[in-house]
Every structure is written in structure tokens, then in C-alpha cells.
Amino acid sequence: MKVAVVVLFPDYFESPMRYAPLRKAVDVGALDLRFFSPIDYAPGPKDVEDYLYGGGEGMLLKAPYVEEALRDAKGWIPDAPVVLLSPAGRRLDQRTVVDLASLPSLILLGGHYKGVDARVLKFVDMELSIGDYVVSSGELAALVLLDAITRLLPGVLTHRGSAETDSIHSGLLEPPLYTRPREHAGEEVPDVLLSGHHGRIARWRREYALRRTLLFRPDLLKGLDLSDEDRRILREIIRELEEIISEL
């Protein structure tokens, strides 16, 4: 997969590039990554930004230099869609990540300061938000999306199933997870996980994944293809909760 990242400060990516999954993806040839900074197209670093027309706090990236960076990125991967990381965008979810990871190429555009001049938007195919909170720059948002995409590329994760069973990928939160030691601070690993009975273990994990999702992220259950057994488990959990509430 070819990915062009158009951001003001590519240095943000130096440390993550030294670790998996980004480094692994590049090493195995799953990811061809290039950076394009508007600074490289401006007379000087301070020329890429300016105050807002109409007044207001903050600075904005100027359109000409962002457009030049995008033009060169498009010159490398002409058919790649441009994704702008923006609080105005649709909220990023795993389904979108999976869709983007299936593309042969992609251009990520991250703003800085107050974002980018609105005249740049005509080059944008999709706007995505990583959540309803504020981070310092578009570089961070682009890094989040790039990491999420990269770990789905072939050959990046040692165990492909690791990505497919991750929390959210399946549509559910993960069940409680345990490793050694078997007992810690008076708490023991549930017996079922030590039983070696794969069917019982799978049922236990499914039940607790449904339980945690219902309690902490019920919104994730909407639209999921739940089995009759899943629905039975959810009804049982709801009955348990109703009994607890009735005793309060």
C-alpha cells in the first residue's frame, strides 16, 4: 500500500517509525510511505501560516503551499483518495479503517493550528475525525489513522488473527484477559480459562465480550449480526441487572 502523508511537521512520525507496526510494514514491503510538508514549498517556515480573515484566535495553514504538497503527493499516487483529518469529519471507526486498508493507495492530510484554508477542501475526498476531543495537531490524528490501517496490512502482524480478534474489530469489546501468574493479590484466573476446553473457553469469552459491550459501549451493539445465542445471553444479562436494581 502506498500512503502519502501531507503534514506540516513529518518529524512527528520519526519515533513511531522505529517501532512496529509502522517499521515492520515498511520492512516487509507492505507499506510505501512518503511525507510531503507544505513548509518545503514555502519561502520559509513562517510563511505557511497566517491570521484568519474576519478576525479570531489562532493561525491557519495557507492554501497555496498545502495545495502544492498535495499536488506532488497526487503526482506520486494519482488515483489515491485524499482524507483530511478534521473535527468536522465523520467519526473514525474500525469499519472505515478496514475499508481504507483495502485500498492500494491513500493520501492523509493533517492540518495544524486552526486547520487548513477552506479552499483546500475541493481536493479532499473524505473528512474523518478521530474523536470528540482536541489534540495539538493534525500530525497526531494522521498518525492514529495510519497506525490503525498499517496493522491490517498483510505480513505486518505476526498473527493475523491478533488484528481480527482485537477489541472493536469484531464489533464487541474484548472479554477480560489474563496471563501469568495464575494468582495475584488474592485474585485467581477463572477456572474455565485453565480447563483446556476450547468450546467452553470460547463461550465464556463471547459472554463476557457481550457483557462488557452492553455495560460500557451499548452503542456498538447496534447493527451487529447477533446470533440467537448472543441475544439470549444479552437478555440474561439484562435480567441480572434488573434484579440488582430492584434490590437497591
CA–CA gap between residue 101 and residue 150 (Å, rounded)? 7
Cα–Cα–Cα angle for 160, 85, 65, rounded to 5 degrees: 125
Q: What distance in Å separates the CA atoms of residue 114 and residue 127, rounded to the nearest whole number?
A: 15
Q: How many CB atoms lie within 10 A of CB 27?
A: 12
Digitized pLDDT (tens) for each residue of the chain, 248 residues in all = 999 999 999 999 999 999 999 999 999 999 999 999 999 999 999 999 999 999 999 999 999 999 999 999 999 999 999 999 999 999 999 999 999 999 999 999 999 999 999 999 999 999 999 999 999 999 999 999 999 999 999 999 987 656 665 656 678 999 999 999 999 999 999 999 999 999 999 999 999 999 999 999 999 999 899 999 999 999 999 999 999 999 99
Global pTM value: 0.88
| Domains of the chain and any CATH numbers | 2-150 (3.40.1280.10), 183-246 (1.10.1270.20)
Contacts of 149 (CB under 8 A, 6+ apart): 1, 3, 97, 100, 101, 106
Instruction: Cell numbers for 102, please give them.
Output: 483495502
CA distance 48 to 45: 6
